[in-house]
Amino acid sequence: MRATPPLLLPLLRSNAVGELLAWLYLHPESEYSTTDLAKRTGVSHSTVSREADRFTAAGLTTERRHGNLRLIRADTDTIVAKPLTDLLAVTFGPAAVLPPLLQPIPGIDEAYVYGSWAARYANQAGPLPRDVDVLVVGSADEDELYDAARAAEHVLGREVNISRIPPASWNADEGDPFVTSLRSKPLHPLIQNGRTP
């Protein structure tokens, strides 16, 4: 069965392609093994390997071998690199940019993107997201979350709003209408159990 093109960027075949390209192009200084990309995106290793073949054949990425590892990085010396990076930042960027900014902050048990971006990622119809809403579960310092949001805004080119709630509120069976509403709508995980999924 063929995947539905993602609403975030219908030019691409799937969310997996968007996320993989976003990880590569929004972190151009890094190279990733196919195993690492699979872990970071939640995409199967075989899909990552197949897409990496396509990216390299199209001149979007370069790769090198280090023993048994296949290391891939964005090819930023092409004419499409800058416009592709900009397009990926405003579409699939939150999935690639936010985890590395949030991961080092102590006290984050879980983190999710919610709202319009998460809905579009889940292929629910609607207008393009104007901002990115993030929920952090835990006791993280609000100043550090604020700094992470501003750093994300610089890359994503849109407002990033981070809300923090304590684990007891998130894990309660009922009570908080905000939590009940969030749980009934799409959530895109950024951090779970203190780690990127």
Class of domain 15-91: mainly alpha
3-class SS at 146? helix
Q: Is the pLDDT of residue 188 over 90?
A: yes
Percent of the chain with pLDDT over 70: 96
Give, as one character, the DSSP assignment of residue 196: -
What are the boundaries of each domain within the chain?
15-91, 96-191
The 10s digit of each residue's pLDDT in 124-162 is 999 989 999 999 999 999 999 999 999 999 999 999 999
The Cα–Cα gap between 172 and 180 comes to: 10
Confidence bin at 25 (pLDDT 50/70/90)? very high
Looking at the DSSP bridge assignments, the partners of residue 135 are 112, 163
Query: Is pTM beyond 0.85 here?
Result: yes
The CATH number corresponding to 96-191 among 3.30.460.10, 3.40.50.1820, 3.40.190.10, 3.40.630.30 equals: 3.30.460.10
Confidence bin at 82 (pLDDT 50/70/90)? very high
Q: Residues 186, 114: contact at Cβ < 8 Å?
A: yes
Pairing of strands 131-138, 159-165: parallel
